[in-house]
Amino acid sequence: MKKSIRLIAVLLAVMLLLAGCGKKESYAIKVGDQIITEQEYSRTILLTRSNYLSALGKEDSAELWETEVEEDTTLSQMLVDTTCDQLTNLKLFEIRFDELGLTLSEEDTKAIAADLEETVEAAGGMSAFHTILEERNYTYEEYEAELYAHAKKDAVLNYYLGENGARKPTTAQDLKDWYNIHYAQVKALLIYTIDPETEEALTEDEIASVKRKAEEALETATRPSDTDLFDEVIELYGEAGTDGDGIVIGEESGYDEALTAAALDMKIGEVRLVEMESAYAVVKRYEGTSDQFWTEEVQQQTLETLRSDEIDELLESWKETHPVKINNKVIQSFRPENFVEE
């Protein structure tokens, strides 16, 4: 009897081994001896696709994805290229993290745990969070691993380019100086020169009245005061205005050209009247790198933008020892236009 059981066990083991030999793990991208699975790729591009649609505010259609955004590059291809680069680069950073023998600090791991806790709470509890993850083809462990992967990426960038970096370091002041040239934290109140409902232009007399009101608001906002009066000015004069801490305006933010030019030209604390296409705006610039706004995430994004050429150089050098292979069959099966509903 024991021999029969042992024989059955051996046969089962052989069958399982043979079954495993015939089945290769499906991959989308290989980076050296590491793989990015089909599942990782599919959930990333589908989530990115969804985000693009929301940002564009357009109806999902094959024609949309075939739109040419650059010479010989469609929106669909741009999305595919962006997703492949994003996943490949993150994997290269993870590999380099291990090669350099780096470790995450206790502060890093606590920050990840706090981020997870905050996300779970915002989702309405662990059960609801698991449901959201399942809808996006994630497990909790995969989501957590992704947070750790990004932390490792940040550690590698700081190793090379941070304040004590192996290359020419980037000081905290370097980051602030660059950020304040290219981005402006502002609050603004708007007084329209059009009818907001019909979007028809006001009469010349009405526009003159709007301008006088805007000038009066400017005068009120610039009166000497021990406290910041701008929120009160928005409430008192503005037909519309920024909420809370205001907005961040950059060169490519997509705001009105006159507003963007003025915001980036203004000094911290300055208030200015700006004539926009359909409104007069009274704008005040704030310190964008104060503790309130200058979070670790913003600092890291600024570092990556400021030193982007060097980061690209590092990534290309790592690809020489960790060649990248794209599984085109998998990539093509998840092109954005394939998921347009008829």
Closest CA to 84 of 51, 52, 40, 53: 40
> Are 179 and 289 in contact, with CB atoms under 8 Å apart?
yes
In a domain, residue 259? The reply is: yes
Verify that 48 and 105 share a domain, yes or no: yes
Verify that 165 and 313 share a domain, yes or no: yes
> Are 30 and 18 in contact, with CB atoms under 8 Å apart?
no
In a domain, residue 94? The reply is: yes
Q: Dihedrals φ, ψ of 187, to 5°?
A: -120, 150
Q: What is the CA radius of gyration of the chain?
A: 27
Helix, strand, coil % in the chain, rounded to nearest 5: 60, 15, 30
Count other Cβ atoms within 10 Å, centred on residue 319: 15
Q: What's the token pair of residue 83?
A: 């997703």
Residue with tokens 């905290």: 172
pLDDT at residue 95, rounded to an integer: 97
pLDDT at residue 161, rounded to an integer: 87
Q: How many domains does the chain have?
A: 2
pLDDT at residue 241, rounded to an integer: 67
Query: What CATH number should be reported for the domain holding residue 214?
Result: 3.10.50.40
Verify that 187 and 158 share a domain, yes or no: no
State the average pLDDT over residues 277-305: 86
pLDDT at residue 122, rounded to an integer: 93
> Are 45 and 37 in contact, with CB atoms under 8 Å apart?
no
Residue 260's domain comprises 181-286
pLDDT at residue 10, rounded to an integer: 38
pLDDT greater than 60 at residue 9: no
**pLDDT tens profile 184-242:** 999 888 888 888 788 888 889 999 998 999 999 999 889 888 888 888 888 888 767 66
Q: What is the mean pLDDT of the chain?
A: 86
Query: What CATH number should be reported for the domain holding residue 80?
Result: 1.10.4030
Verify that 165 and 209 share a domain, yes or no: no
pLDDT at residue 3, rounded to an integer: 41
> Are 78 and 69 in contact, with CB atoms under 8 Å apart?
yes
pLDDT at residue 87, rounded to an integer: 97
pLDDT at residue 22, rounded to an integer: 43
pLDDT band, very low/low/confident/very high, at 24 (cuts 50, 70, 90): low
**pLDDT tens profile 99-137:** 999 999 999 999 999 999 999 999 999 999 999 999 888
> Are 83 and 41 in contact, with CB atoms under 8 Å apart?
yes
pLDDT at residue 244, rounded to an integer: 66
* Interatomic CA distance for residues 148 and 7, integer angstroms: 45
Task: Please give the share of the chain, as a percent, with pLDDT higher than 90.
Answer: 52
**pLDDT tens profile 151-177:** 999 999 999 988 888 887 788 888 899
pLDDT at residue 8, rounded to an integer: 41
Verify that 43 and 148 share a domain, yes or no: yes
In a domain, residue 244? The reply is: yes
Verify that 151 and 195 share a domain, yes or no: no
Q: What's the token pair of residue 62?
A: 């094959």
In a domain, residue 293? The reply is: no
pLDDT greater than 60 at residue 11: no
Looking at per-residue pLDDT, the higher value among 3 and 36 belongs to 36
Verify that 166 and 185 share a domain, yes or no: no
> Hey, CA dihedral for 313, 314, 317, 318, is it positive or negative?
negative
In a domain, residue 208? The reply is: yes
pLDDT greater than 70 at residue 326: yes
pLDDT band, very low/low/confident/very high, at 25 (cuts 50, 70, 90): low
* Interatomic CA distance for residues 108 and 94, integer angstroms: 15
**pLDDT tens profile 274-290:** 998 888 889 999 888 88
In a domain, residue 7? The reply is: no
Residue with tokens 């394939």: 338
Q: What's the token pair of residue 110?
A: 């606590």
Alpha carbon of 269 to those of 175, 263, 279, 284: distances in Å? Answer: 20, 11, 22, 6
| 185 beta partners | 248, 286
Q: Dihedrals φ, ψ of 87, to 5°?
A: -70, -40
pLDDT band, very low/low/confident/very high, at 57 (cuts 50, 70, 90): confident
Type of residue numbered 284: K
State the average pLDDT over residues 289-318: 88
Verify that 52 and 78 share a domain, yes or no: yes
Looking at per-residue pLDDT, the higher value among 33 and 232 belongs to 33
